Chain A
Amino acid sequence: MGDIAAKGAHELFQGIVQGSRPHLSRAISHVENGARGAAELLSHAYKARKGALITGITGSPGVGKSTLVDGIVRELRKAGHTVGVLAVDPSSPFTGGAILGDRVRMGQGHALDEGVFFRSLATRGHLGGLSRHTGDVIALLDAFGFDHIVVETVGAGQSEVDIMRYAHTVVVVLAPGLGDDMQAIKAGILEIGDIFCVNKADLPGAERTRRDIEMMLDMKEPAGWRPPVTQAIAVNGQGLPELVSEIFRHQSYLVASDTLKEKNRWSYKAVLEEYLRLLTVGKVLELASRDGGLDAALDDLMQGKAGPMEVALKLLQKYWA
């Protein structure tokens, strides 16, 4: 099924528009697998986007992102919104396999709710805490018609910037007593959060963590939006209504300040960059490893016959036309 002919792409898209879950989930697989025909399917989907509001949830492993996502979904449903969830977990760099465990935290409440769709994605070697196809999968969910799309990232520390490019609102989750709060703040997490949520507020130190973040935010140059710092106990739902109302408030702010469009443009740029990389770097690497050109280039480099720029240009000239 790695090959969806033009007819298959059209059929899948029709299924999506008609609200068929099996069609949506099959379409996601085709996009993830880079199946032939996926490009056509996506061109339908991008044209049919309805403008879902996209929220990213990021933060170190174990802070309670999945549990919070479950609570956010519950609150959004209470408010009458439909929700698509994408939960990303890392692939093993050694085997390419993955255990995608975010569903474990999904409560029974909406496991069968027609207004909720949940999909687990593996990073498949992509860095930056997301799957390479996140933008495309978001487009599929948007074409399906969810009001909100919530994306949980890997949360593996440094490079969590990717989510900023795809989400309208980024929620950075922290927990007290992890000892890495200050570390995280130093690593630039302060720059990416539109909202901060100190989860596990039942544990000692939550108030202290909250104050630390407030203080760091106070030192930043004031901009249009001052990120609020909320507290939550995701396991019992405390603080979830407040968190979701901050998400709504941020989204209203984006609309009112006319920055929503700007954000959308930026995320299209991220998608476009992915495709350009695929068509250039991806293509050159694939072709050059097939006929030994890559090995020869590496030999040249190792033996000092040429510098990296020269070698790279040669590869480009030979394989990219």
Chain B
Amino acid sequence: MSGKIRVLVGKPGLDGHDRGAKVIARAYRDAGMEVIYTGLHRTPEELARMAVEEDVDVVALSILSGAHGTLIPRFIDCFKKEKATQDLDVLILAGGIIPEEDIPALKEAGVDEVFGPGTSTETIVEFTRSHLKRPVA
């Protein structure tokens, strides 16, 4: 009846810059979504637990540290374990500074889309809305 799209905006790893994460968090809020903001320096295990407890439809991870190759697959692993399923019905997005050549491996690991630093928030919000993996009541 009055379902809302819920998004976890997470900052895994050690980099201390959350400007990008905050910009996208506000864009999602302005698009009428409920955004759970995790704060800095979260481990993949913590983010997975949060995503489960908040029952989000979308997880958007922002990484600038260059550690995406290990942190993101580890997050997805933990998330599947926490949810006790291999078949995630949650849209998983990554953003930040991620080189083109790393994208195929991330998608292989279960990331649905990777957005580069130049992507407009409108594009990200629109993509999110049209690629949800489960209906929102």
Contact = CB atoms under 8 A, between A and B. Distances in A.
B46 to A, nearest CB: 4
Interface stretch (B29-37, B65-73, B99-107): B29-37
B49 A112 contact: yes
Interface in A67-98: 91-92, 95-98
B137 A35 contact: yes
A238 interface: no
A118 B83 CA distance: 16
Interface in B50-94: 50, 52-55, 82-84
Range class of the A interface residue count? 35 or more
A118 B39 CA distance: 15
A33 B137 contact: yes
Given A34-B2, A97-B28, A112-B49, 6 more contacts: A2-B3, A33-B1, A97-B34, A111-B42, A119-B53, A120-B54
Interface string B5-24: 01000000000000000000
Interface of A: 1-3, 20-22, 25-26, 28-30, 32-35, 91-92, 95-101, 103-106, 108, 111-112, 117-120, 122, 124
A103 B49 contact: no
Contact of A1 (B52, B82, B135): B135
Range class of the B interface residue count? 35 or more
Contact of A95 (B25, B30, B83): B30
A105 to B, nearest CB: 8
Contact of B38 (A21, A32, A98, A103): A103
B131 interface: no
Contacts of A34: 1-2, 137
A232 to B, nearest CB: 21
Nearest to A98: B34
Contact of A3 (B29, B52, B84, B137): B137
